[in-house]
Structure formats: structure tokens, C-alpha cells
Amino acid sequence: MNLDGLNKDQRKAAETLEGPVLILAGAGSGKTRALTYRIANLIDHGVKPWNILAITFTNKAAKEMRERVSSLVGEGGDEVWVSTFHSMCARILRRDIEKLGYTRSFTIYDDDDQSSVIKDLIKQFNIDDKALPAREIKSKISDAKNKLQAPDDWFSQSPRDFRSQQIHDLYDAYERRLRHANALDFDDLLVRTLELFADHPPVLDSYRDRFQYVHVDEYQDTNFAQYSLVKLLTKKSRNLCVVGDDDQSIYGWRGADIKNILDFEKDFKDATVVKLEQNYRSTANILEAANQVIAHNEGRMEKSLWTELPEGDPIELFCAGDEREEAAWICDRIQQLTIAERSCGDMSILYRANAQSRVLEEMLVRAGIPYRIYGGLRFYDRKEVKDIVAYLRCIVNPADDVSLRRIINQPKRSIGDSTITELVRYAGEKEMPLYSALVDVPETLSARPRKCVREFGELMNELVLSREDMSISEFVTLLIEKTQLKVQYERDLSDEGKNRVENIQEFIGSVREYEEATDDPSLEDYLENVALVSDLDTADFESKAVTLMTVHSSKGLEFPIVFLAGLEEGVFPSGRSFNDDQRMEEERRLCYVAITRAREQLYISYATQRMLYNQVNYNAPSRFLNEIPKRLINDEWISKREKIFPGAMDSYQHPTPKRASRYAADGTAGVGLGTGVNVLGISGVQKGFTPSLAKAIPSIAVAAIFKEGDRVMHRKFGEGDVLEIRGAGNEARIVIGFAAYGQKEFALSIAPIVKVN
DNA sequence: GAATAAATTGTTTTT
DNA sequence: CAATTTATTC
């Protein structure tokens, strides 16, 4: 194996093949490179590819690693098992889950499904959902599962109060519900795999034999269940190689335990530790900023990143009046960079919370800048798509009550709440799945609903039968026909309706794509993909568009130019971490991750006033800003702000809160004020490219993104040229020359125009 | 009893 | 602001 392309430390990582290995890899230190070379080297030393397991954090990372290994070793590279924990477990369970009393066609419940089970149980138990909200129960259950605590285990280490008792009861009932529905939630995939291994030693042994060399990437973000699984698998071989960076542990809220990586050397006394400290990604300035910020955390593993790269540009800092100005400044910078021949594909805008993306999107549309947004709503999470998926799940797994309830009256077939309640009661009484009640309809229902239910039952049975003799895509097409799922939207001629029809069409396309790309396609396997594939997994960064995403999503990625928006107290760091040191340290690690995404240029912005979650706040600049040495920052934009947004200050002197206070001090309802500003949102422009549909975003900040000579598109008058911009701030007006309509003048702050290139 | 219109309420991060 | 709950009409 030729390891010349590696530095000294990377080479050590790739050459240490036996025993436990800890690779402490700083941001941008080429850890994926080291890992792929190590795997290739193992194969080179005669290890069979199928005896190697590599666990990554996302499916996309898995795919990339498989490709990189293949390109190093050629044939056989794709025989290496590379997948996420969840995909691996799903695959293991698909084989042997019958030993645990489930069937192989089990359903994987997503977040929504979990919530609906819990909400239903809360109702059934007659629990006050204000004292115990569903989301809290959900996170409690998830926490418990991540720690491998069954309901009784959890209870035995909780305070013996009524509240814990209720949580215990709900957790217990939740578990039984899922079991009855032949369904597993995300956490179950791990828990049940461990259960399988614990109860069936021969199964465990077969996987121990199979996975002689185990690799875990992003080890700092593993939880106790994942840790246990890894330990169990490598107990005999002791060939475990983990890669991670304690400074990039950002999933503590999801049960990830940073101690897993901090204590690795205690766990494996003879572990070889390799530190990758040379950064190949960022300029010296950016790296120094990141190093200084993270130095404010305590209890880190010792390591110091360095680079041979030049100093580079300073970090550009801007203080905006509000979130729209911030967005406008970013758009203006992007336009300037584009003029300097930088591609939009090299740029990314990162933010703490998904909710921040909306304003950015609106402004990007106006400025005519192509962008893609990741996170937020997945394609498979759209209503119309989820409905089809729910049908498919019911057909594959008739015990799946949650999915059945979702579609029993979708599209409308006159099966209302009271009918459903009765069906559920009847099914519960006879201890059978809800599906059976469609055929064995309870006598207690009156004639009309009974007819509707029976018709629906016949439709479903018909579908189940026709699945036998056709391909998956043919079947999905037939299903959409018979259920009239598409027809109902085709009648709707609005943008939303058209969008839904398109999404349904695209769904059929995705099924067909899957069918062609897979050796042995099955509906079960397809549904598993739907459940486990994230938005980011399907992302392509090839297109020349600015990438928008949360800092969390950006982990593992890099961009030449990064905009980091919303660096304010309460936003980043999140207000929820204020009174918890542990969480605050995680916020700081998150900031470290954000900064280290940038290769060449980093732009940071914050706003003195921000409307977020429908509330106006005046936030101080983020503490993380103070942790970056002044000498690395160019803050001249702040003093130029008046020039970029002339007259902008005026409108910020009398900010109008949307609602003064929802409740008066005495507990009576207060009077809402209303902004008086009509915000025409842009609908249907997700992952957007075509700005032609854009409506007006009333904002004086938009002035900054239009200049004389620009070509613009008006919603009514079509394309024209900007001839003149008069006045400033709220009073600013824009004169546009249209070929067909001649010269027109508009108030710039509300004109429905977008820039075109 | 079901479908629709109006009112209320809560939002970090996600495999 | 959208998702969900509640009131009202058919």
C-alpha cells in the first residue's frame, strides 16, 4: 500500500492495524483520508473487505467513504460494510428480528409517528398535557432508550413521585403499543439489536466473526447504546479504531456522551493514540479564531491545531440593524464576490436555528441569487408524500395502526373522528390491529359509516392483492390511482396544489430510481430508506448555488466562503443554554464547528434587533465574538453601515412589537397590537432557483441589493432595467424602464421586484 | 356526524 | 407563521 500521500501522523493511523486505536482528529486534519487509507491498507494486508465495518454519521458520508475506498483498492472495495449505526442495525434486524417476536416487515416510526402514539396515550391516560407535554415524554423516552433503560430501569433511578410514575406508565404503554404495531422507533433500532445480541449468542458470534475490524467515525457523538454495541462487537477481536474530536461534540442533547471519547484510553488501556493536528482546510486567521474560541472550554483533550497555510483575509464582521439588514448585507457581499468571479457553489450561509433561514431566503430570492436549503422539511416529510408512504406501510405491515389512522380518511371518505374512535375501541376490545376492524366492522356503527369503512377495507384488500404481481413503481402508481390521492390535488389549481401534484410525481420518480439502482428491490427495503435517509444525504453540492443550513448540519462539510449569521446572545449561543455550563460549552463547540467550516473567507454578522419566533428581541453581540482576538477581525463594515443602508436608522427608533404582551399582568388576556406591516411570504420556493414568482418583501434593507443598471423582474410588468434610485431609507424610490410599459417609479421598500442575471 | 372556518399557541439542534 | 385545537355551519 502506497501511503506517500499521508503525513506522519496520518500514516501512523493508517499503519496501526491491530488492537484499539484512537485517532484524535482536529477539524480539517484529513481524518477521512486517514480512515480510508487505513481500510485500504487492511485490504492490502489480506483482510477480506467484508470483514471490515466502518460506521459513519450520515448515509452520505458512508457513500463517500465507500467510493473513496473503492478508488483506492479497486474491485472489492464496495464489499466493505460502510453505513450509519441506524442503517446497520436495520439491516441486522431485517434478518433476525423474528427471534424477538417481530416480523421482518416491521415499520420504522419517525418523529411524527412517535408523537402521535404519545399524544394518543396522554389522552387515553387522561393526563394533563400541559403538565406533561408530549415532546417532553418523547425526549424522556429517547433518553432512557439511549441509556438502555427499560421503563422499570428508568423508574428505579428516578425520584419516586407521581410525575415519574406517570412517565413510567406512558413509557411502558408506548413500548407495548410499538410492539403491537410491529414497529420500531429510531432508538429501538439500536436497543433491539443489542437485545438480539444479548439473547441470541450465536447471532452475536456470527457478527463478531464477520466484523473483525471495526471503525467508528465521529466517535465524540456516540451515545451509550452505540458505545455498548461497538464494545460488544469488538470484545473478541479488540480491533476497534475510533475517530473523533471532543471539540466537535455537538449532539449531547440527543444523548451523545462526550465521555465515550474522553475515556477511550481508560476503556482500552493499550490503545494506540494518534493525534492529527495539522489542519489542511482553513487559513491561519480562521484557524486561530477557532482555536481561541474553543480554548474557553474546560476539560478538553490536549491538542493544538496548526497550519502551514498563509494568514489569509481577516474575518469580516457586520452589525446589522435587524435580521433583514443582515440578510441584505450577506446578499450584497455575495453579489460582490460573484463579481470577483467567485462561484455561488463555493459559498454557504450557516445559522443556529432553522427558523433563521426564512428571511435569508426571501432576500436571496430578491437579489436573484441561486440557493439551496437543507434541513427543515425533508422531501419525504411533505404531507402528500407522507400519505403515500403511510399507505405503503399499512400494506407492508397491517399492524401499523399509526399509519392506518393517518390515511383512513385521506382523501376524505366520510370516516370521521367518532367513527375512528369506535373502530379503535372495537379493535382494542378484540385485541386485534385496527386494520382488522376494517373488515370485521363493529355492529355498533350505524349504516352509513359502516358502509364507508367497509368500502375502504375492500380498497385496501384489493391493493394488498395486486401488490403480488407487479413491480414496486407500478404498484405505487396503481395505489395513487385507486386511492385518488393525486386527483384531489389536481382539482386544486393554486400554487400549493400544483406543488403537491409535482411532489407526488417526484415520489413515483424516486421509487423508479430506487428500483433501477438496487439489485434486489423490495418495498420493505425502500420504506427503510425513506425512514433513514436524511435531507442532507441527497444533497448535491455540484450545482452552483449558495448552500443554507444549520451549523449542526454542516458538520463534516467545508466551503471556501462561509457566512455565519446571527451571532447574538440568545440566538447563538441559544438562550436555552444560559444557565447550564455543560450546554454552554456545547454551544461553544458548535461555534467552533461553524468557524472551521470555512476555508478561505469567513463573514460573521449579528443584529441589534431581531424578530425570531415571532418575537422581537434586542440581543447583545454573542460572547463568542469577544473570544475571537480583535486583530483577526475587520469591522469596518460596521462604520459603513449608514452608507450601505442610508436612512435605515430612522425606522428602528420606534420598533413595534407584534404583540405587546399576550397576557396582561393580572392574567387576563391582553390586547394584541399587530405590526401593520403586511409580510407577503414567498410560497413554494424551497430549494429554490426560479425567482420569477417572488412577491414583495417590504423592507427598506432591500435597497442595498439593487443598483443602477441592474436588470430586474417585476411581478406585473416583467423585465426591466434600473434607471435610477432616488432618496433613501423608507422614502427611497426606484425608477425602472420596461420595454413594453416605459418608465415606472415604485417605492423601493415594497416593490415586488427581483434581480435577474 | 363530518367538513370547514376561526382562534389559539408554541418553536434549537436531528440520525 | 404554521400547526393544532376549538367553534360553527352543513
Q: Is the CB atom of residue A415 positioned under 7 angstroms from any atom of strand B?
A: yes
Q: Which nucleotide is nearest to A537 (CA to C1')?
A: B15
Interatomic CA–C1' length for residue A46 and nucleotide B11, angstroms: 53
Where chain A has pLDDT below 70, the residues are 646-703, 729-730
**Which residues are registered as beta bridge partners of A733?**
A726, A747
Q: Is the CB atom of residue A600 positioned under 7 angstroms from any atom of strand B?
A: no
Sign of CA dihedral A94, A535, A347, A595: negative
Whether residue A319 contacts residue A643, with contact meaning beta carbons closer than 8 Å, is answered with no
Question: A23: Cβ–Cβ under 8 A, 6 or more apart, which residues?
Answer: A13, A31, A34, A35, A241, A242, A243, A244, A274, A276
What is the C-alpha to C-alpha distance for residues A215 and A506, in angstroms, rounded to an integer? 36
Tracing cell 423585465 back to the chain, one arrives at A719
What is the C-alpha to C-alpha distance for residues A556 and A562, in angstroms, rounded to an integer? 14
Active-site annotation holder among A597, A599, A623, A641: A597
**Which residues are registered as beta bridge partners of A721?**
A711, A737
For all residues of chain A together, what is the average pLDDT?
87
Interatomic CA–C1' length for residue A416 and nucleotide C10, angstroms: 15
Helix A472-483 vs helix A447-467: angle between axes, to the nearest 10 degrees?
A: 160
pLDDT for residue A640:
76
H or E stretch at A319: strand A315-320
> Which phi and psi angles does A241 have, rounded to 5°?
-120, 115
Whether residue A213 contacts residue A241, with contact meaning beta carbons closer than 8 Å, is answered with yes
Q: Is the CB atom of residue A613 positioned under 7 angstroms from any atom of strand B?
A: yes
**Which residues are registered as beta bridge partners of A322?**
none
Measured from the Cβ of residue A192, the count of other Cβ atoms closer than 10 Å reads 21
Q: Which nucleotide is nearest to A532 (CA to C1')?
A: B15
Catalytic residue list contains A528: no
Helix A383-396 vs helix A523-532: angle between axes, to the nearest 10 degrees?
A: 140
Q: Express each pLDDT in A710-732 by its tens digit.
A: 898 887 888 999 998 887 766 77
What is the C-alpha to C-alpha distance for residues A266 and A205, in angstroms, rounded to an integer? 25
Separation in Å, CA A200 to CA A69, A95, A97, A456 = 33, 13, 11, 41
| pTM for this model (two decimals) | 0.89
Active-site annotation holder among A96, A120, A185, A217: A217
What is the C-alpha to C-alpha distance for residues A92 and A76, in angstroms, rounded to an integer? 21
pLDDT for residue A666:
39
pLDDT for residue A675:
26
Interatomic CA–C1' length for residue A416 and nucleotide B3, angstroms: 9
Q: Is the CB atom of residue A409 positioned under 7 angstroms from any atom of strand B?
A: yes
Q: What's the CA dihedral at A605, A607, A612, A617 to 10 degrees?
A: 150
pLDDT for residue A647:
59
Q: Express each pLDDT in A675-707 by its tens digit.
A: 222 222 222 223 333 333 444 455 656 667 888
Sign of CA dihedral A276, A280, A285, A290: negative
pLDDT for residue A96:
95
Q: Is the peptide bond before A646 cis (omega within 30 degrees of 0)?
A: no
Q: Which nucleotide is nearest to A115 (CA to C1')?
A: C4
Nearest to A167 by CA among A108, A110, A125: A125
CA angle A224, A104, A215 (to 5 degrees): 35
Which amino acid is residue A570, in one-letter code?
G
Whether residue A331 contacts residue A755, with contact meaning beta carbons closer than 8 Å, is answered with no
Ramachandran sector of residue A733 (left: φ over 0; alpha: ψ -120 to 50; beta: rest): beta
Round to the nearest angstrom and report the end-to-end CA distance of chain A.
Answer: 50
Q: Which nucleotide is nearest to A680 (CA to C1')?
A: C1
Catalytic residue list contains A31: yes
* Nearest protein residue to the C1' atom of B2, measured from CA: A416
Active-site annotation holder among A32, A608, A609, A686: A32
